Amino acid sequence: MNRNHSRRHVRPARITAILGLPLMLAGCDMQVLFPAGDVARQQAHLLAISTLLMLVIIIPVMILTVLFAWRYRQNNTAATYRPDWDHSTVLELVIWAAPLLIIIALGALTWISTHTLDPYRRLGRLAPGKAVPANSKPLEIDVVALDWKWLFIYPEQGIATVNGLALPVDREVQFKLTASSVMNSFYVPALAGQVYAMPGMQTQLHAVLNKTGRFGGISANYSGAGFSGMHFEVAGMSDADFGTWVAKTKAAGGTLDTPTYLNLAKPSENAPMMRWASVDPSLFKRIVNQCATPGSPCMSDVMQKDMGGDMHGMNMGHPAPPANNTPPKSPPGALQRSPDALGSSPRPADAPDNAPAMPHSHS
């Protein structure tokens, strides 16, 4: 009796939990599908449209699978039995035309969205129905992926932070990204899609945040032992609050110069948020060119010397020859000769009869 009584209570509890699962998921902050930035919103729209187009094929196939299995089951004598049936033109058209149309629609949608949402391209709008102001300048932020933390430099404001990013809402932001040692990936789901940050290279991302609040940013590419703690906070605020935040950061004091950066670049896990009131203006450029350490050659200088024909005194480059130094003309190849000239090339003389024979190899 007790066992049966407990089962009666367990089953309703399971049913309640299953039915309440969608309600619990609805309370989650699904930033990927409901982002706070217009670029991420367009990407989410592309994801939703692509899913619906694919469901046009998937749902009928799932329904027909169950329907065919039920209708043509063994004990259903009312179903038509045609063991010699092997072709239907109408069915072939439906099977091939429907997926082909879906692929064409997905291809066109992806091609248009890929060019419209190119991360290197400036934004065409700040929000639906809200264009980018004429002659407006985006807020520039230099991003450096360190081990294992994120460095953000605001060149216009002359400040820098670690693991803390502040953005004014409804203003275009241009991120310039690089990494100090290994490839990483900058990803703020509420803002835009992920963009790689690679050492010795500079990538870009244009985005905009349309809502105030606190959002999360992460590293989306494994980069070592401290990867799991390589996350940061993104604060969306009004222009006035952003100005207050900049003034507060400047009041914190400190300068992010070369010695400070070299100490910061050392691997550390779960780094707290840090601020600097001023930044060396040439620091980010030297990080990209991998010459932040004093005395190390910059990649841009090395490549410039190489193009000029001198790479550290070793003449590794390939300079263009002088204009008056005309190289000798090579004889025309077989395809460039006239048919009459073919076969007139000098041939090597035949070996004399008394020429020594080639030795044979013996196994």
Segment 202-260, tens digit of pLDDT: 999 999 999 999 999 999 988 888 888 899 999 999 999 999 999 999 998 899 999 99
Q: Which two tokens stand for residue 102?
A: 């879906």
Neighbours of 304 (CB within 10 A): 13
Q: What's the confidence (pLDDT) of residue 239?
A: 93
Q: In terms of Cα–Cα distance, which of 31, 47, 39 is closest to 213? A: 31
pLDDT at 12 over 90: no
Q: Which two tokens stand for residue 287?
A: 């990080």
Q: Which two tokens stand for residue 211?
A: 């809502």
pLDDT at 312 over 70: no
pLDDT at 146 over 50: yes
Distance of CA 266 to the CA centre of its chain: 26
Between 77-81, 147-151, 162-166, the lowest mean confidence (pLDDT) is in 77-81
Amino acid at residue number 231? H
Q: What's the confidence (pLDDT) of residue 24?
A: 44
pLDDT at 18 over 60: no
Distance CA(244)–CA(274), nearest Å, equals 17
Amino acid at residue number 92? E
Enter the pTM of the model. 0.71
Distance CA(188)–CA(220), nearest Å, equals 9
Q: Which two tokens stand for residue 235?
A: 């604060």
CB 188 within 8 A of CB 217: yes
Q: What's the confidence (pLDDT) of residue 331?
A: 57
Q: Which two tokens stand for residue 188?
A: 């703020």
CB 203 within 8 A of CB 195: yes
Between 40-54, 146-160, 206-220, 302-316, the lowest mean confidence (pLDDT) is in 302-316
CB 137 within 8 A of CB 168: no
In the numeric block, the tokens 């809502």 are attached to: 211
Give the single-character DSSP code of 219.
Answer: E
Q: Which of 86-90, 194-198, 294-298, 353-357 has the highest mean pLDDT?
A: 194-198
Sign of the CA dihedral 16, 19, 23, 24?
Answer: positive
Q: Up-side HSE of residue 193: CA atoms within 13 Å toward CB?
A: 12
CB 235 within 8 A of CB 161: no
Q: What's the confidence (pLDDT) of residue 170?
A: 94
CB 243 within 8 A of CB 249: no
Distance CA(161)–CA(59), nearest Å, equals 49
pLDDT at 27 over 50: no
Q: What's the confidence (pLDDT) of residue 309?
A: 55
Q: Which two tokens stand for residue 14?
A: 């399971």
Q: What's the confidence (pLDDT) of residue 176?
A: 97
> How confident is residue 31, by pLDDT bands cut at 50, 70 and 90?
confident
Peptide bond into 245 cis (omega under 30): no
> How confident is residue 157, by pLDDT bands cut at 50, 70 and 90?
very high
**Average pLDDT, whole number, for the chain?**
82
> How confident is residue 80, by pLDDT bands cut at 50, 70 and 90?
confident
Give residue-wise pLDDT tens across range 266-310.
999 999 999 999 999 999 999 999 988 888 888 888 888 877 755
